[in-house]
Amino acid sequence: MDALIFPKERLWLLLGLLFVLTVCTTLRLPGLPVGVGELGLALTGLVSVFLLRRRILPALRQYRVLAGLWGIYLVSLAVAGGFSAVAGRLSAGWLHDVMAFCFAIGTAFLLLLLVGDSRRNMRHFALGFVGVALAFSCFAFLLVIVDYLIGKPVLSPAFLANGWWYGRFNAWAADPNQWALLLLVAGMLLVLLAERLRPVLLVLLLWLFLEVRSDAAVMGLLAFMLVYAGIVYYRQPALRRQALTVFMIFLAVFATFRLVADKLPPSPVLRAVGAVAGVAPTEKMLKKRKGMLEKGNRLFVGNGADKLNQRITLWGNSIKAWRHSPVVGLGPGAYSGVTRPLQNTESHNLYLQILVNTGVVGLLAALGFVIWLVRSLWRTPETAPWIAALAGLLVQGVGQYLMRHPVFWVLIVLLVWQAQHACGNGPAAADADTAAAAGA
């Protein structure tokens, strides 16, 4: 490997690590809503603004569609928040919501500044991000397996929600859905950027992803697989075999997980030896397993009708809240509720949350951005498969609100980068980078 390129690859790996650490909410500083990832990105941003200050305005002009979306959203939040404050219905969590959103889009713009127009930079960062996410997940799950083997929940409770072994795998995140978003983005990037398909890595990542047991994320991944296979079939015939392989691996891993994961005996290796010898699990063990599964850990079953009914109630109350200010919304924060609207509860739906926060103005801006992104990516066969990643993210948004998470904007930034180069608004730096490296 070229000695001049190697240090840069290390830096991109470090940047990927910082973005992954923003999802590791269990590792945040005591008593503070920030951790090493947030502090590292903030410091990187300050240094980058000083060193790359001349690139800021050109970058805003080059990525004006994304910058325009951010501008419209922030202005809508400010106007709607002012009206809600006067009316006395501003959400209690409005400040946290604004700070989280501003930090997320700030780190996204930082990524655009650092990547520039270099395809190599974009690729190095994305693969470094995927590698770090997979490494963190594997280490946490390894500790879960060790506890299962010794038969005592010593370390695994820190990485599981809703119980030991049969709980949802949340790894280093306090909310399993955050880790599901991380692995969804990592999995899609692995498929889109891999020059040669590595089935072992894909199977490992898919299994860890399914262990999180997020129905919305799984539906998002399924949407990605279907759209990816369809686009590749029509736009990139040379990759048809790879697309078919990816889809078959997904189906095989999902079927195996459903057949095996919840069927494993609730006993460690020592008790498994007894099971092989014909000793059945005790009644206490079977009761424990049944209780774990009834807590809502199974894919597509979850808490049964209760979970779905609760989401439907939240969505309905979000619409009732939106009717108070349909044009510009109610401003930052949460406005849904379990029994009625305006109870400071999130909608658990990306589109309804945008509608409630920024009204029809914000929702139309987001819709226009998506249309531009799809049309731009469709222009070339090389960028068309990235539409599948957007589809996966949008489907996951049906069950979760994603716009506060930096990882959500990592994928959006990579999609915008691809779209800009598909439109010819950015120099095709890949060949230039390769030529420069060869000349060096």
Look at residue 186 and tell me if it is in a domain: yes
- What residues make up the domain containing 292? 6-439
Nearest to 12 by CA among 87, 101, 103, 111: 111
How many whole angstroms separate alpha carbon 380 and alpha carbon 348?
35
* Inside any domain, residue 199: yes
Let me know if residue 1 belongs to a domain: no
Q: In 10 A of CB 437, how many CB atoms?
A: 12
DSSP for 344-411, please give it: SB--S-HHHHHHHHHHHHHHHHHHHHHHHHHHHHTTSTTTTTHHHHHHHHHHHTTTS--TT-HHHHHH
Alpha-carbon gap, residue 146 to 107, rounded angstroms: 36
> Could you report the per-residue pLDDT of 3-25, keeping only the tens digit for each?
333 346 778 899 999 999 999 99
State which amino acid sits at residue 126. A
179 in a structural domain = yes
In a domain, 414, yes or no: yes
pLDDT tens-digit map of 360-405: 999 999 999 999 999 999 999 999 999 999 999 999 999 889 999 9
Let me know if 412 is exposed, middle or buried by CB neighbors in 10 A (0-12, 13-18, 19+): buried
Does residue 148 come out as left (phi exceeding 0), alpha (psi in the -120 to 50 range) or beta?
alpha
Residue in 359, 353, 418 with CA at minimum distance from that of residue 383 = 418
d(CA 143, CA 138): 9
Contacts of 231 (CB under 8 A, 6+ apart): 384, 385, 387, 388
Q: Confirm whether 233 is domain-assigned.
A: yes
Q: What's the Cα-to-Cα distance from 30 to each of 22, 82, 186, 273, rounded to whole Å? A: 15, 33, 28, 43
* Cβ contact 243:232 at 8 Å: yes
Indicate whether 204 belongs to any domain.
yes
Q: Are 242 and 193 in contact (CB under 8 A)?
A: no
Cβ contacts of 173 within 8 Å, gap of 6 or more: 23, 24, 25, 26, 179, 182
DSSP conformational letter for 279: P
Instruction: Confirm whether 46 is domain-assigned.
Output: yes
Could you tell me if 20 and 26 are in contact, meaning their C-beta atoms sit under 8 angstroms apart?
A: no
User: How is residue 20 written in tokens?
Assistant: 């992954």
Q: Look at the chain and report how many structural domains it folds into.
A: 1
Using CA atoms, how far apart are residues 359 and 329, in angstroms rounded to an integer?
4
Q: From CA 126, how far away is CA 131, in angstroms rounded? A: 9
- Torsion sign across C-alpha atoms 310, 316, 317, 322: positive
- How does pLDDT run along the chain (440 residues), one tens digit per residue? 233 333 467 788 999 999 999 999 988 887 777 888 999 999 999 998 888 889 999 999 999 999 999 999 999 999 999 999 999 999 988 999 999 999 999 999 999 999 988 899 999 999 999 999 999 999 999 988 887 777 677 787 888 876 655 578 899 998 899 999 999 999 999 999 977 778 899 999 999 999 898 889 999 999 999 999 999 999 998 889 989 999 999 999 988 887 776 665 544 443 444 444 444 444 444 444 444 444 444 454 444 446 677 888 899 999 999 999 999 999 999 999 888 888 888 898 999 999 999 999 999 999 999 999 999 999 999 999 999 999 999 999 998 899 999 999 999 999 999 999 876 555 444 444 444 444 43
